[in-house]
Structure 1
Amino acid sequence: MRSFAGTVAAGVLIRRVALATSVAFGTFLGVVPLGAHAADTRPDPLKVVASFSILADMVEQVGGSQVQVHSLVGRDADAHVFNPTPKDTRELAQADLVVINGLGFEGWLERLVKASGFKGPVVVASEGIEALDGEEDHDRDHHEHHGHHNDHDNRHLHDHGPIDPHAWQSLRNAKVYVANIRDALIEARPQAREELTARAASYIVEIEALDQQLTAALAVIPENKRKALISHDAFGYLAHDYGIEFLPVQGWSTGREASASDVASLIRQVRDGKVQAYFIENMSDARVLQRIADETGARSGGSLYSDALSAKGTEADTYLKMYQVNGRRLIEALQ
């Protein structure tokens, strides 16, 4: 005869075996035990559409697992001559949030939004930066930029106007982009505030560290040697931050080809200004640039990344890696 304690112990054992068997059998049949959904309470990622690859990366860096990002203009692609596809229209229609650069960069966006029927929030990542203005004048001997507050009204969706839209080419502006993206994601997903705030803060620390490194490295290069020939005028903010003079073959938009007089003027400027290096871009036609280099003796400094990241797994597949590559090549060529 079993003791009372032995009977209780045996009963507990039987119940444990029975429970384990029922759970296993229920799982086999597709029946989920109580409490099994506890780990699946996290909401689906926010569907975010970014206008081009650099913004898409910023959203991913801040959003992490909270976001699923689609970039309208892909890697190594030119946003200035972008033609949306039916897939882009579908992605936009299903989005929870759209992130754009603003400053007139996405001239095609208004038509695409209308075609998709998207009614959700559109975040202008450049909101609050000090935009640079100037003129698309290829005969100028140097570029003079003045601070201009960004008002982001509707005309910016139609043309570049007098404002340089490539504001992400300043690491200091990038911190503003990140803050705007963070705030928009928190508004869309307030329960993830702590995670999104921490990720944005960590990202900004990395941006600031890179800015400090480049400032120190470029400061030792004599000012009269900080000159370079480039494909199109996409580096005005970088030039402004680090005291570099860029001579562009094209203006702000790659959609306009350089004329014969533009090329002749640049050849004179390169010779007069003793520009020793030229750079091509990952999404530009380098033939005109090569012609100028052949006639002036300027040497290649390699590729710079302006409006698009490189393919995943390559040297410039994130915003920070892109900026590191650009900075390193400029320093090596201008020394």
Structure 2
Amino acid sequence: MQRRHLLALPLAMPFLSRAAQAQGTVPVVASFSILGDMVRQIGGERVALRVIAGPDVDAHSFQPRPADAEAVRGARLVVRNGLGFDAWLDRLVRSAGYRGPVATASEGITPRALEDSHGHNHGHAQDPHAWQDLRHGQSYVRTIAAALAAADPEGAEGYRMRAEAYLARLAALDGWVRQQIATVPEPRRQVVTSHDAFGYFAAAYGVRFLAPQGISTDSEPSAAEVARLIRLLKRQNITALFLENMANPATLRRLAAEAGVTVRGQLYADALSRPDGPAPDYEAMFRHNLGLLVPAMKGEG
């Protein structure tokens, strides 16, 4: 987005902030849908939430609009992922002239270094998808709850109570995920997805993920990489092949056709579904993904 568009915005208090004040709630901006759900779970009705990159929106290459800058300007707290995932939000914050607190949900998490297709670690690229490990998701919750309490001390006790209940659910969900994965024989715990968004999931739960695209949905796989994946699919009889709601399906469909493998459905990695979809919140996203992954890895269906 061009800077002159932001400078042309009116300096009046944004609608979100006015409405929040009228209702006695705290205006909070979250960069994308998964963070937005976490803020909603912790903040409850006390928070007037604006999610910039909403459900089924690709946050990797998102282009903010003038209305987004207006929302940021009127916020009491801005929540971002960090690790390079939503760098556009940093530019938006500067352009909007926002001077309030910015909470980085991934703060304190040791980022996973990205490897190339041959398993080489070049030491300079970080994987931003830390929420794909539910233990990291719990760290996100603690960070967001602390930021909300600091921005709104009067609501601190409510944030603490809702965060504790949420953390308990996420811990139980983490245990359930591990139980589900344990039902799959180790040699069959291999999955091909559209782009490399499940590295933290792989490390946490013992599943190998392969992807023709890299870490960003903007990247394009090479012909050599696609050919390598086709050979691997055939040689190791991999039956778990999935699209993602944010990635271009063309490459994966071509790979599936050439390898003679059926695409088994759509996973949610970088964004939630709309409220009437299968992954409207962070917890539902894991349940939906596991419900597809486990039978596909087993070769069922």
1:131 counterpart (100, 111, 115)? 111
Q: CA deviation at 1:301?
A: 2.1
TM-score of the aligned structures, taking structure 2 as reference length? 0.88
Counterpart of 1:208? 171
1:92 counterpart (68, 72, 77)? 72
Contact 2:217/2:248 (<8 A) preserved? no
Unaligned runs of 5+ in 2: 1-20
Do residues 167 (structure 1) and 130 (structure 2) align?
A: yes
Q: CA deviation at 1:131?
A: 1.8
2:232 counterpart (269, 287, 297)? 269
Counterpart of 2:15? none
2:37 counterpart (30, 49, 57)? 57
Contact 2:192/2:242 (<8 A) preserved? yes
Q: What letter matches 2:48 in structure 1?
A: Q
Counterpart of 2:8? none
Deviations 1:193-218 (Å, cap 9, x if unpaired)? 22111100000111011111110121
Alpha-carbon RMSD: 1.8
Do residues 245 (structure 1) and 245 (structure 2) align?
A: no
Q: Secondary structure at the match of 1:162?
A: strand
Return the alpha-carbon distance in structure 2 between the equivalents of residues 294 and 113 of structure 1.
44
Contact 2:180/2:290 (<8 A) preserved? no
Return the alpha-carbon distance in structure 2 between the equivalents of residues 67 and 190 of structure 1.
13
Q: Secondary structure at the match of 1:108?
A: helix
Q: Which moved more, 1:220-229 or 1:103-112?
A: 103-112
Do residues 70 (structure 1) and 50 (structure 2) align?
A: yes
1:114 counterpart (94, 98, 103)? 94
- Which portions of structure 1, spanning 4 or more consecutive aligned residues, are displaced by more than 3 angstroms? none
2:60 counterpart (70, 80, 87)? 80
Counterpart of 1:11? none
Return the alpha-carbon distance in structure 1 between the equivalents of residues 158 and 71 of structure 2.
26
TM-score of the aligned structures, taking structure 1 as reference length? 0.79
Q: What letter matches 2:107 in structure 1?
A: E
What percent identity do the matched residue pairs reach?
44
Q: Which has the larger radius of gyration?
A: 1
Contact 2:242/2:265 (<8 A) preserved? yes
Do residues 187 (structure 1) and 150 (structure 2) align?
A: yes
Deviations 1:237-273 (Å, cap 9, x if unpaired)? 1111111011111111111111222211221222233
Contact 2:240/2:293 (<8 A) preserved? no
Counterpart of 1:30? none
Matches within 5 A, 1:257-296: 257-296=220-259
Deviations 1:92-123 (Å, cap 9, x if unpaired)? 11111100001111121222112111111000
Deviations 1:77-96 (Å, cap 9, x if unpaired)? 11111111111111111111
Contact 2:43/2:162 (<8 A) preserved? yes
Unaligned runs of 5+ in 1: 1-40, 149-160
Counterpart of 2:6? none
Contact 1:276/1:297 (<8 A) preserved? no
What is the count of residue pairs matched by the alignment? Answer: 277
